[in-house]
Amino acid sequence: MPTLLLSKDVIRGLLNIADVIKVVEDAFKLFDQGRASMPPKAYLAVEQGDFRAMPASIPGAAGMKWVNSHPQNPSRGLPTVMAILVYNDPETGYPLAVMDATDITAYRTAATSAIASKYLARPDSHVLGIIGAGHQAYIHILAHAEVFDLKLIKVFDHSMSTCERLICSLPDYPVEKASLEDTANADIICTLTPSREPILKKEWITPGTHINAVGADAAGKEELDPSILKDSIVVVDDLRQASAAGEINVPVTQKLFTVDEVYATLGELIAGKKQGRTDSNVTSIFDSTGIAIEDIATAKLIYQKAKHAGRGMSIELI
Q: In what helix (H) or strand (E) does residue 57 lie, and over which residues does it extend? A: strand 49-58
Would you say residue 273 lies in a domain? Answer: yes
CATH number at 275 reads 3.40.50.720
Please check whether residues 266 and 141 belong to one and the same domain: yes
Would you say residue 62 lies in a domain? Answer: yes
Would you say residue 302 lies in a domain? Answer: yes
Would you say residue 192 lies in a domain? Answer: yes
- Give me the tens of pLDDT residue by residue for the chain, a chain 318 residues long: 899 999 999 999 999 999 999 999 999 999 999 999 999 889 899 999 999 999 999 999 999 999 998 988 989 999 888 999 999 999 999 999 999 999 999 999 999 999 999 999 999 999 999 999 998 999 999 999 999 999 999 999 999 999 999 999 999 999 999 999 999 999 999 999 989 999 999 999 999 999 999 999 888 999 999 999 998 999 999 999 999 999 999 999 999 999 999 999 999 999 999 999 999 999 999 999 999 999 999 999 999 999 999 999 999 998
| Helix-helix angle 135-147:160-169, to 10 degrees | 40
Please check whether residues 37 and 86 belong to one and the same domain: yes
CB 109 within 8 A of CB 288: yes
Please check whether residues 138 and 76 belong to one and the same domain: no
CA dist list (Å): 296 to 106, 202, 262, 310: 13, 36, 26, 20
Please check whether residues 308 and 264 belong to one and the same domain: no
pLDDT, tens digit, 9 for 90 and up, residues 232-242 = 999 999 999 99
CATH number at 91 reads 3.30.1780.10
| Residues catalogued as catalytic | 65
pLDDT, tens digit, 9 for 90 and up, residues 61-95 = 999 999 998 988 989 999 888 999 999 999 999 99
CB 317 within 8 A of CB 245: no
Please check whether residues 272 and 160 belong to one and the same domain: yes
Domain that holds residue 36: 3-104+293-315
- If one counts the domains in the chain, the total is 2
Please check whether residues 163 and 231 belong to one and the same domain: yes
Would you say residue 114 lies in a domain? Answer: no
Please check whether residues 306 and 228 belong to one and the same domain: no
Please check whether residues 300 and 279 belong to one and the same domain: no
